[in-house]
Structure 1
Amino acid sequence: MQQHTSNQPEIDGSTAKPAPRNYTEADLQSCVEAEILTPEQLTQVRDHVYHRNTAKKSIESEYFRLISGFNDIFVVVACALVLAAIGSFVSALTDLNASLGVALGAWALAEYFVRVRKMALPGVALALSFGIASIIFAMQNFGFEGFRLVLVCLAAAALQLLFWWRFRVPITIATAVGALVLAVQIMVAGTTHGVIATIPLLNLLLGLAVFAFAMWWDISDLKRTNYRADVAFWLHILAAWLLAAGIFPFIIGGPQLAEEAPQVGIFGALIVTLIYALMALVSLWVDRRALMLAAIGALVYVYSQVLTEYGVVSLNFAISTMGIGLGLLALSVYWQRCRRVTLKVLPTRLRAWVPPLDHELDGQAHSEKAN
């Protein structure tokens, strides 16, 4: 008996046809018209695919919503022109400060472009414009000496929180926290009579506090599908800057701790490298690259100093930046693989507090579908 062979797989005794790799909207609508899918099922399919792709994109690339098209840049430029004109009109035609007009104008523009149109980049620009104009107005009217500057920082933080309450622009949480951090730094500097050596330790403690706050936002949205992940992104940038400003001055010295910067040496470079490796490990765990970027300046400085000490003067900066840049590029290419390896040494309890890997995300999607 001659056996029939076919390249097509057999399913339930019948020959299955190869499926196309992509389905168009017309294909999906035809399934509804043919009563293969109900409209409700089609909606569920769309929602499932959207949330799955959004989550994977967010986790793989540390995606955050900032710009959706050139129209966002167009609107930002137009808003800048309008705010500049408002400031000029207020200054020329009234006795009020131009900064007050800019702050009110930024709020008015945000009512449409942020609250109605939900535009991310104009939201960031208008939030910063509102905050900076408010600070300038407060400093012009209340002064910026001693405790008055602390009050200005507290007022700026309160206004940024008010902007957050109204428009939900993620960066306003970070700017409010930054204003509070500045207020604490001013108070401590006044208490210690300006002892500069206390600043790195203070920055380290503040950086750890901001990092914990950022992780609180991150844990509430591990799949990074809503605005909470964007809030965490900006907070991580602030925390990274504070941590870098708190850790590395203790090691490399410089004008903050001494009148003359000491030689770093191989031992100092080794310590800086180990600390940077630890920051890279934490960055991989929490899937946030900001910690690594904030410390690049210290790394370049240390390696340049070491090369200079060994006689490589003319090319010290080029060699150090090339090596660091190539290392970061390699890490960006193999980021997910490095995460997969480093997460193996993370305790099981802490694994529930960091973003999942790709295959874990797929497993969660299948579990939700089964339930």
Structure 2
Amino acid sequence: MTELNRALAGAAEKGIISAHQVSDLEAYLADRGINFGPVSVDAAVDRDDAALDAQAAEDSEQPRFVRGFHDILITIGVVVVLIGLWGLGGPFATLPVILVLAEILVRRQRLALPSVALTVALVHWVGTTALWFVGEHEDAWKPLVFVLSYLSAFPIPLGLFYWRYRVPLALAGLMVSVALICVVAVLLGLERILGIDLANDNHFALLALTVLAGALGLFAVAMRYDVSDPQRLTTRSDTAFWLHLAAAPALLYALIGLVFVSNGGATWWDGQAGPGQAIAAILIVALFMLVGLIIDRRAFVTSGLLSLGGAIWTMLNQTGASVDNYVFIAFAVVGVSVLVIGIFWQKLRRMVMRLLPETITARLHAAP
């Protein structure tokens, strides 16, 4: 089915021209030697539309960090070399190699997947060395002070790495680390102002609300990057991808945490959670799936799969089903949900987008 086929079929669906006029136009063009496939709704058209939906689903969220097997081969080499150097010389021997490889592979050759691997290696290096320095004060400092000191080591190295190499993951990591620092700083301030210990279960709601506020801020930044590049042609879209990947689970589990506050902090795994909490969790996961469809980001779907399985586990457990039954039923339901959403992603998204005002849909990634 050519672009002309799709244009004519779309015009007929919207009532711009009739199906009879489409047939007449096809015959008119065929008489002049312009031949193309039929535009009537038949099995061939359905197959073409399904293929287009599959291609659109593949292209709608495709971060540019895998560009071919060459990238994969180089990345394998990078990982193996860094692991070997870490085992031989520790972090002080690894950092110079990370920077040298970044100059060659990222700044000069602009290889995508190796840039991700080197950014992850830098995060690991910062995390390990920071833990060595602050670990000496672990017993003397309060937990939140210890965490705040540890997180404070990340923004500057990630910021410098992004400034030099322009890796989207480094920018996203910088923003995530700043968001985490802000959350921990607020929690520390609340402890001192209110004179409470947030490690106490009685204040779990305050902890969850603070994490929720930080996650919402991260989500807002991610949406700002998404809206600035609705066609997803620049690295701003890649930065948004990584931010959504961090914001989605943070939002989800902050909300899930608030659901279980009313049950004394009980979880699915200790057998104390009730069906009310399970239903609430399923509704939250459904909401996240809807948000994922609207903004065309699958992170909001995948982040809720574990929670969906846990909720189904709880509801089956409450009915007295055997362990073998509800474990496999939970797996089956989650798997079917993933397949249905994955296969019909574009169709479901078109249905959802039609219900939204154009002022919103015009700023989002277009539904094919």
TM-score of the aligned structures, taking structure 2 as reference length: 0.75
Residue of structure 2 equivalent to 1:62:
61
CA gap of 1:254–1:329, structure 2 versus 1, over 3 A, is farther
* TM superposition shift of 1:233: 0.4
| CA spacing shift, 1:58–1:227, aligned 2, 3 Å | farther
SS at match of 2:108: coil
Return closer, same or farther for 1:346/1:60 CA change in 2, 3 Å cut-off. farther
After TM superposition, where is structure 1 displaced by more than 6 Å over at least 4 residues in a row? none
Which residue in the other structure is 2:182 paired with? 184
Could you tell me how far apart the structure 2 residues matched to 1:19 and 1:303 are? 50
For residues 104 and 297 of structure 1, do their structure 2 counterparts lie closer, same or farther at Cα, with a shift above 3 Å needed? same
- Note if contact 1:254-1:261 (Cα within 8 Å) is conserved in structure 2: no
Change (3 A) 1:194 1:103: farther
Query: 1:30 is matched with which residue?
Result: none
1:154 has 2:152 as partner = yes
1:273 pairs with 2:282:
yes
Contact 2:230 2:364 in 1 (8 A): yes
Deviation, 1:267, is 3.0
Sequence identity percentage: 27
1:310: how far off? Answer: 0.8
- CA RMSD in angstroms comes to 3.0
Shift of 1:85: 4.1
Give the conservation status (yes or no) of the 8 Å contact 2:353–2:367. Answer: no
Distance 2:292 2:82 in 1: 38
1:169 to 162, 167, 186: 167
- 3-state SS, counterpart of residue 106 of structure 1: helix
Give, in whole Å, the separation in 1 of the partners of 2:57 and 2:239: 14
Within 2, Cα distance between the matches of 1:18 and 1:345?
Answer: 37
Change (3 A) 1:17 1:164: same
Assess, with a 3 A threshold, how the Cα gap between structure 1 residues 10 and 348 changes in structure 2: closer, same or farther: closer
Of the two, which has the highest radius of gyration?
1
Tell me which moved more, 183-192 or 110-119: 183-192
Deviation at 1:136, TM superposition (A): 2.1
**Which residue of 2 is the match for residue 220 of structure 1?**
228
Work out the number of aligned pairs and report it: 309
Deviation at 1:354, TM superposition (A): 1.2
Report the alpha carbon displacement of residue 179 of structure 1 after superposing the two structures with TM: 1.9
Q: Partners in 2 of 1:342 and 1:88 — Cα distance?
A: 51
Q: CA 1:255 to 1:120, structure 2 compared with 1: closer, same or farther past 3 Å?
A: farther
Paired position in structure 1 for 2:107: 115
Whether contact under 8 Å (2:266, 2:273) holds in the other structure is no
Offset, 1:254: 10
Letter of the structure 2 residue corresponding to residue 231 of structure 1: T
Q: Which residue of 2 aligns with 1:210?
A: 218
How far apart, CA to CA, are the structure 1 residues paired with 2:78 and 2:124? 15
Distance change in 2, residues 1:205/1:256 (3 Å): farther
Q: Return the alpha-carbon distance in structure 2 between the equivalents of residues 243 and 293 of structure 1.
A: 13
State the SS of the aligned residue for 2:292: helix
Describe the SS at the equivalent of 1:354.
Answer: coil
**Structure 1: any 5+ residue segments left out of the alignment?**
1-7, 21-52, 92-97, 359-371
2:119 corresponds to which of 102, 117, 127: 127
Aligned partners of 1:150 and 1:187 also within 8 Å: yes
- Of 304-313 and 252-261, more deviation after overlay is shown by 252-261
Please tell me the residue identity of whatever aligns with 1:326.
V
The answer to which of 206-215 and 337-346 deviates more is 337-346
Q: Which residue of 1 aligns with 2:133?
A: 141
Q: Distance in 2 between matches of 1:233 and 1:153?
A: 22
Structure 1 pair 292–178 and aligned structure 2 pair: CA distance change class (3 A):
same
Pick the aligned partner of 2:340 from 330, 336, 340: 330
Offset at residue 57 of structure 1 (A):
4.8
- Give the deviation of 1:347 after TM superposition: 2.8
Change (3 A) 1:130 1:308: same
* C-alpha displacement of 1:200: 1.9
Q: Which of 229, 242, 249 is equivalent to 1:234?
A: 242
- Cα pair 2:183 2:214 within 8 Å, conserved: no
Question: What is aligned with 1:16?
Answer: 33
For residue 324 of structure 1, what is the amino acid of its counterpart? V
Equivalent-residue separation in structure 2 for 1:326 and 1:284 (angstroms): 17
- Checking the alignment, whether the CA contact within 8 Å between 1:284 and 1:338 is kept in structure 2 is yes
Quote the residue 1:82 is aligned against.
81
Amino acid at match of 1:237: L
Q: Using the alignment, how far apart are the partners of 2:84 and 2:59 within structure 1?
A: 42
Once residues 255 and 270 of structure 1 are traced to their aligned partners in structure 2, the CA distance between those partners, rounded to angstroms, is 14
1:194 maps to a residue whose letter is L
Partner of 1:296: 305
Query: Which amino acid in structure 1 is aligned with residue 308 of structure 2?
Result: L
Contact 2:95 2:122 in 1 (8 A): yes
Deviation of 1:230 after TM superposition, in Å, equals 0.7
Q: Deviations over 1:121-167 (max 9, x none)?
A: 11111011112212322332354644464244223112111111111
C-alpha distance in 2 between matches for 1:217 and 1:112: 28
Amino acid at match of 1:241: P
| Structure 1 residues 166 and 262: alpha-carbon distance in aligned structure 2, compared to 1, 3 A threshold | same
C-alpha offsets along residues 81-132 of structure 1, whole Å, 9 cap, x if unaligned? 332344455x4xxxxxx31332222111011111112111111110111122
